[in-house]
Amino acid sequence: MKKIIYSIFSALLLANGLMSCGITTTEQVINPNNPSLSSVTSNATKGQLDALAIGQIGRARDGIDTYTQVVGTAGKELFNFNSTENRWMTELNGTKPLDNSNFYGGATTAFGPAVRQANTLIAAVANTKSVTAQEASGYLGLANTFKGLANLYELNVQYTNGVRLNVEDPLKPSKFATYDESLAGIKKFLDDGAAQLDAAGATFPFAMPATYAGFNTPANFKKFNRAIALRVAIYQKDWAGAAALLPQTFLSETGSLTAGPSHTFNPTNPDVGNPLINTSTVRIVGVEKLWNDAEVGDLRLKKLSVISPSISFTNGVVYATKYLANMYNSASSSVPIIRNEELVLIAAEVATQQGKTADATKYINIVRMAAGLKNYAGVTDKDALINAILKERAYSLWYEGHRWVDMRRYGKLSEITLPVAGMAIYDKMPRPLAEVNWDIANP
């Protein structure tokens, strides 16, 4: 593998834009996003480990645009009016067969580099004497947290196809685990990371981006780790486990609903700009029925601009909508990974599943009040409350990659209205062709 040399300062810029990191050394290290393994897995320097850690944070962003747009389309909450690629509207909506070697496979495969980065960092830490045991725990906690998150994104797309949980040796990967096994494996990555963060002391040995303010120490980063583990718990329908996790996260009944760590973007080279913004060829639009059904005065409608006349798509599928996404209007806009609003709605869901009606309505009303709406006044049996929570999640977490997964885990995909006759709703994306071919060649 060709070695591409960067200074630590340049590597940090590559992963995190204009983050102020206080680095003054000019030590040379391998590109942290595509490291030569032999250069870092044998007694790596602290500078190399720092660069790998920052590269890990940068890698965690990879694929977030394809992921949110694919799962958003699958759940019929948004469409990608792409003027150069009509398969966003045809194949992903079932009017033509899915292709397992197509661009939308990136909703799965784009997270592979983040897993590889984590495995590289873990291997480097295991074979160095350049840092203390406490410092090593900080690197490992970071790596396993992002490893769990990347695998969870993959699993959300692949569902019952499962994921490979062991790819430490890319030439000898494990077989695909079942859905339940995959969730259990992801839970273990996150639990290992949480234990390592507990042993990491008061500060990380590396700098963190500004968008991780409030989550830039091991103790606070662990709250982020536990929030992702909470997602896993509700996917597992482990309501007791989820209830135990809630107080370990950054859930706040009175805090900002936007609080949480975010991905950093910067269009200035060598970093990259926010890939979720609308461009001359890509326009992310809201499905009309979802937003037409929003309650009058719902402030979450501000996530979109209302366009007159409506925006139309006519290449292979004919559809028009007056809702154009405006959540991201700058190439420097950060993108949330998980927010307090999601945690509040998960708290409502857990309370509902445990028969705690008063708590469930309390959490629902926190979100509704923030949206400028009146308190929930509907039926309070379990089914009604779950439907109410799913409705709030649809608006609160729009374009964040949840609607399809939410409706699927409650067996409600068939309840999603098809915007155009002939469309279909899939429960998963096809396993990528390269993975299929690998298993054929390596039975």
pTM of full prediction above 0.85: yes
Alpha helices (H) in 174-275, listed in sequence order: 179-198, 218-235, 239-245
- CATH hierarchy code of domain 1-62+111-277: 1.25.40
Q: Has residue 94 got a pLDDT over 90? A: yes
Question: How does pLDDT run across 133-163, given as a tens digit for each residue?
Answer: 999 999 999 999 999 999 999 999 999 999 9
Q: Has residue 27 got a pLDDT over 50? A: no
Q: Has residue 26 got a pLDDT over 60? A: no
Percent of the chain with pLDDT over 90: 90
Q: What is the mean pLDDT of residues 390-401?
A: 98
Confidence tier at 117 by pLDDT (50, 70, 90) = very high
Q: What is the reported pLDDT for 36?
A: 60
Where is average pLDDT lowest: 168-172, 344-348, 360-364, 404-408?
A: 168-172
C-alpha span between 438 and 147 (Å, rounded): 22
- How many other CB atoms sit within 10 Å of the CB of residue 181? 13
Q: What is the reported pLDDT for 6?
A: 31
Q: Which residue has the tokens 């927010």?
A: 339
- For the chain, the average pLDDT equals 92
C-alpha span between 179 and 335 (Å, rounded): 27
Q: What is the reported pLDDT for 19?
A: 30
Confidence tier at 31 by pLDDT (50, 70, 90) = low
Confidence tier at 12 by pLDDT (50, 70, 90) = very low
Question: How does pLDDT run across 229-267, given as a tens digit for each residue?
Answer: 999 999 999 999 999 999 999 999 999 999 999 999 999
Q: What is the mean pLDDT of residues 172-185?
A: 98
Q: What is the mean pLDDT of residues 127-133?
A: 97
**How far lies 96's CA from each of 69, 90, 318, 414, 431, in Å?**
18, 6, 14, 19, 17
Q: What is the reported pLDDT for 18?
A: 25
Q: What is the mean pLDDT of residues 304-331?
A: 97
Q: What is the mean pLDDT of residues 49-53?
A: 97
Residue 366 falls in which region: left (phi positive, over 0), alpha (psi -120 to 50) or beta? alpha
Q: Which residues of 320-352 are buried (b: 16+ CB within 10 A; e: fewer)?
A: ebbbbbebbeebbbbbbbbbbbbbbbbbbbbbb
**How far lies 402's CA from each of 313, 339, 394, 397, 409, in Å?**
24, 13, 8, 7, 11
Confidence tier at 441 by pLDDT (50, 70, 90) = very high
Q: What is the mean pLDDT of residues 52-67?
A: 97
Q: What is the reported pLDDT for 33?
A: 53
C-alpha span between 229 and 187 (Å, rounded): 6
Q: Which residue has the tokens 């039926």?
A: 379
Q: Are 252 and 259 in contact (CB under 8 A)?
A: yes
Q: Is the dihedral of CA 61, 63, 69, 72 positive or negative?
A: negative
